[in-house]
Amino acid sequence: MENKPYIIELEKIGSPSLGYITVAEYQKNIPFDIKRVYWTYFTPNDVLRGGHAHKKLNQVIFAVSGIITFTTEDLQGNKETFVLDTPNKGLFIPEKLWRDIQFSHNAVLLCLASEVYAEEDYIRHYDEFKKL
């Protein structure tokens, strides 16, 4: 598993006349065992979310509706911007990667996570992140 963020494009099965299905599967197109799934919605588009990193959690995140923009920063200070604008395109976010998230109106974020929720895994202060 890489230790930098990257886009994962999953297969889109179907047609414009019938609609589509996209499948995420461990060992096929998701690089970790999925232990938790969550989604966020009704996030106002003038609110910046994220503002944290994780000590050991890895994630693949999808915008199943709308557009979600991620700004990431690694421990070396490298910053990247990723735009999720189709439901079959996910962003792999490794551990120890700071992220800020901007949602479009009515965007829905779906997250596949490598660990169950643990508050002690969060790095919520940027100064603490930069000391790692």
Residue numbers annotated as active site: 52
Q: Which residue shows structure tokens 């966020």?
A: 40
- Give how far Cα 2 sits from Cα of 20, 32, 67, 92, 105, Å: 29, 11, 25, 9, 32
Phi and psi for 21 in degrees, rounded to 5?
-135, 145
Contact 132, 52 (CB under 8 A): no
Interatomic CA distance for residues 10 and 23, integer angstroms: 7
